Structure 1
Amino acid sequence: LDGFDLKTYKTSAAGYQRLLPVVRNCRKAILNSCDLTEKSCEIVASALQSSNSPLRDLDLSNNNLGDSGVKLLCAGLMSPNCKLQRLGLGWCNLTDGCCDVLASVLHSPHSELRDLELRDNELQDSGVRALSAGLEDPHCKLERLGLSGCRVTHRGCDSLASALCSNPSHLRELDLRYNHPGDSGVRALSAAKLDTLTLLVDHGGENRTKPGPRKYGCQLTLDPN
Structure 2
Amino acid sequence: MAQRARDSADYQGLDAGDPRRAVIGERLLPSTAGGGPLLVTPQRHWGLVHTLRAVLDQERAWLAANEAAGVHLLASDVPRYPDRDDTDSEMEGRSQDALPEAVFLQLMGEENLALLPDGTARDFTELSLRIGRRPWEVRHLEFDCVVWHDIDIEAADGSVQRRRYPFLVYWMQKVRRRHKLPLHPTDVEVITRRGRLPRPGVGPTASGAAAGCWTSSLACAGPARRSPTRRSPGEPKSTRSISSATAT
For the aligned pair, the TM-score class normalised by the smaller chain equals under 0.3
TM-score (normalizing by structure 1): 0.25
The structure that has the greater radius of gyration is 2
